[in-house]
């Protein structure tokens, strides 16, 4: 599973957990309304609360406490999801930074090599130009020598005739 799919799955799990907690909070709000209503019920003589009224209120209150405990447990899971996601983002950030640093190092190294090759190429071109010039000079000198020798031979033949 790639990182994007993993992140999406984690995000969906995080959203589900939030929805679950919100539903639990709605149930708690409803139970608290029931508790508040039960406190105002007085079914006893002279408008007093009976043991049954108090027990009913206490049962609702105990149910609220159990709901609160479940909400705390689910909140802890939600925070663990959040921490996990933050750690994933930090890890991905570090990995991306490492890749970027390595890429910059490679680019710098390749740029240095390119500069060295350009310098070598320029030196080779200069050497080739110098060698070409030397060759041209040698050919020119040889042509002059050959012409001079031919001219001398032609003079000797003319003088011998």
Mean pLDDT is lowest, of 8-17, 81-90, 94-103, for: 8-17
Task: State the pLDDT at residue 37.
Answer: 87
Task: Taking the CA atoms of 64, 70, 73 and 76 in sequence, report the sign of the dihedral they define.
Answer: negative
Which own/partner contact pairs does 50-53 have at CB distance under 8 Å and 24+ positions apart?
none
Mean pLDDT across the stretch 18-33? 92
Give the model's confidence band at 86: pLDDT under 50 very low, under 70 low, under 90 confident, else very high. confident
Mean pLDDT across the stretch 45-51? 73
Task: State the pLDDT at residue 88.
Answer: 86
Mean pLDDT is lowest, of 21-25, 28-32, 48-52, for: 48-52
Distance CA 25, CA 156 (A): 126
Closest CA to 29 of 73, 60, 74: 60
Task: State the pLDDT at residue 62.
Answer: 94
Mean pLDDT across the stretch 124-152? 93
Task: State the pLDDT at residue 46.
Answer: 65
CA distances from 32 to 38, 98, 147 (A): 10, 53, 123
Give 3's contacts (C-beta < 8 A, 6+ positions apart).
88, 92
Task: State the pLDDT at residue 161.
Answer: 65
Which own/partner contact pairs does 132-135 have at CB distance under 8 Å and 24+ positions apart?
none
Tell me: pLDDT of 1 over 60.
no
Angle 109-102-119 (CA atoms, 0-180°, nearest 5)?
10
Task: State the pLDDT at residue 4.
Answer: 61
Tell me: pLDDT of 45 over 90.
no
Task: State the pLDDT at residue 110.
Answer: 96
Instruction: Name the percent of the chain lying above pLDDT 90.
Output: 58
Average pLDDT of the chain is 88
């Amino acid at each position: 599973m790639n990182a994007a799919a993993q992140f999406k799955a984690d995000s969906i799990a995080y959203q589900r957990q939030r929805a679950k907690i919100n539903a639990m909070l709605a149930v708690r709000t409803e139970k608290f309304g029931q508790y508040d209503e039960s406190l105002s019920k007085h079914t006893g003589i002279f408008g007093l609360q009976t043991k049954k009224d108090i027990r009913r209120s206490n049962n609702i209150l105990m149910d609220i406490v159990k709901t609160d405990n479940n909400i705390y447990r689910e909140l802890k899971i939600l925070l663990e999801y959040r921490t996990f996601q933050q750690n994933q983002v930090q890890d991905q950030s570090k990995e991306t930074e490492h890749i970027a640093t390595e890429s910059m190092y490679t680019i710098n190294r390749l740029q240095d090599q390119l500069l060295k090759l350009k310098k070598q190429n320029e030196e080779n071109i200069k050497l080739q130009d110098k060698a070409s010039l030397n060759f041209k000079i040698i050919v020119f000198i040889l042509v002059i020598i050959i012409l001079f020798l031919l001219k001398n031979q032609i003079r000797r033949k003319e003088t011998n005739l």
